[in-house]
Structure 1
């Protein structure tokens, strides 16, 4: 018999979501986490937005993901006695009269209409945002303060003896029919939730990750800002009434965690075109998104090692994907519930056996 049901490797939003769902299911586990390592979860703005893209497309599975995520985070706030879920709308300034007409026509579609607000704060937002043609308000959106959530979650699991601060090396895993052994303990299964680090992991480096580097700015302004997120080419996320996060850039080379002047200048220039009021850049950060070729998560069990699992590939929408699919994956592992084939790594098994 194993000492624990699961070993979870990583404590970003993926690993934390798995941990809380295993906790709810009454399973025993240890989390191997390294709080000193770079983490895309700690850089990400944590925005959830049901309507994205220039063409106003509804986010994949939004009707399922968004209610589940807000319920999950609300429960976790109570459990951890902390505030990290902020529900707010997104204002999308129209770039032209043509775009205004297009968006208004689209917003009449039943699938999209549920996510359109009445733009009641538009005049106040227009005091500091260029909105010559007005703007569309997207509701049932918001953001999650991931650094606060992950810190509180780590403190909770550390206090219960379930979190181990360590630099994990996958080569230290030993396999047997009963499970895996690590750090002198036996586990029924290991779930690797390592984000970008998965590309260096011998178990799953065959999966088609297409990691993307992103950079954001933190700014301050003397103008009082509404809590609404602004989205037009970049996002402006008010974190207080005078501070914002601004992002994000996309680049593929080099894939490192260093900030660059080029990215900072790009964001600053776009921000100058969006904001009417003066601002000051106070910080810049870089992260690497664990994105995937088909833009769907990578979840499932290794093709030949039935005790080795992965929960990864959450890309830019981790705050909504992680809670929902962590629940799905735990149900799959414990109760045999079928995984959505669009996220199951079985779709890529041909790459492994090639």
Structure 2
């Protein structure tokens, strides 16, 4: 039993969802000595398990620095390194990103942008002289971006779950918000009492009334695994799509963006779209070996959704991490944990207070 304000409860927090968001928040609250219970359902599809886990400080067609990159990337690096050490596994694979120029105009634009100190710190090389990527079509050369790579998210989630199970704080079960019982001071679920419930459900948040009023804008994404002829070098290639080498003869490629239909089914249209883009980048034959689809829990303003329900202060949300969850999750899990335990103000750009007008409308 934990005791807060004279009220005894079985747990401080019930964390619903064991994707990258729920897992990162669970680790942070666990480290603070909080008594937590994590509930997950392995039978449900998970965008975290489909995602390639790439982190890249410079994104988009215009070579823009990722929002809060100077804070997110160092924190994520420390967080994943600490988990690698604690769980005795390898999670992070640093790899430079090679961005072939699409045209002379883009080359000139990008090179001009590298004069910006905020961007220059992430540029490893402005030419492709040291990049013998002869399997890539890059007649105009390209940029080499550093402080990038990928995180093995399925391994992170699996090993975290094993750890939580050993600690006796994980429940494998389908969660339904209707099963929550609110008393004057606590929340009850499955016969146990909690101070707070934090919903980290990804797109599943749209299935209950607590937060379905928030402006989620789910996006379907599909990725392919491909096999090639033992030639791939340790570089992520990024030009419209990413080509992430998993070995010398295999890679993961993505991703598509679609809004209709919003389901978890793979499609021939996405496969053909990606294959066409691969052919425009790779000048060697390849074979598609696997295809996956996922629904990203994106938000209209492209910022996370974090905070406490406007009327029910025992229910919170940690969601909306979108396509950059691998770097957003650790940093904002810490911010939310500090908010929950010590009252630290949340960044107003992620705090769901920015949307309270939608709830009270």
Q: Same fold (TM over 0.5)?
A: yes
> Does residue 96 in structure 1 map to residue 103 in structure 2?
yes
Q: Say how many residue pairs are matched.
A: 354
Deviations 1:118-158 (A, max 9, x none): 26875544311111111101110111110111011111101
Q: Contact 1:235–1:248 at 8 Å: present in 2 too?
A: yes
1:264 to 271, 274, 280: 271
Q: Contact 1:157–1:163 at 8 Å: present in 2 too?
A: yes
1:207 to 208, 214, 218: 214
**Secondary structure of 1:347's aligned partner:** helix
1:50 to 48, 57, 80: 57
Q: CA deviation at 1:35?
A: 1.3
Residue in 2 that maps onto 1:346: 353
> Does residue 296 in structure 1 map to residue 290 in structure 2?
no
Residue in 2 that maps onto 1:117: 124
Q: CA deviation at 1:278?
A: 1.2
1:34 to 10, 21, 41: 41
Alignment of 1:12-27 (within 5 A): 12-27=19-34
Q: Partners in 2 of 1:282 and 1:139 — Cα distance?
A: 29
Residue in 1 that maps onto 2:179: 172
**Secondary structure of 1:209's aligned partner:** coil
2:137 to 101, 123, 130: 130
Residue in 2 that maps onto 1:65: 72
Residue in 1 that maps onto 2:3: none
Residue in 2 that maps onto 1:4: 11
Q: Partners in 2 of 1:325 and 1:72 — Cα distance?
A: 12
Q: Contact 1:223–1:277 at 8 Å: present in 2 too?
A: no
Q: Contact 1:297–1:343 at 8 Å: present in 2 too?
A: yes
Deviations 1:226-251 (A, max 9, x none): 12100000000111221111000000
| Gapped regions of structure 1 (runs ≥ 5) | none
> Does residue 191 in structure 1 map to residue 198 in structure 2?
yes
| Gapped regions of structure 2 (runs ≥ 5) | 1-7
Q: CA deviation at 1:177?
A: 2.7
> Does residue 237 in structure 1 map to residue 244 in structure 2?
yes
Q: Contact 1:122–1:135 at 8 Å: present in 2 too?
A: no
Q: Partners in 1 of 2:341 and 2:202 — Cα distance?
A: 23
TM-score norm. by structure 1 comes to: 0.98
2:231 to 206, 220, 224: 224
- Aligned-residue Cα RMSD (Å) equals 1.1
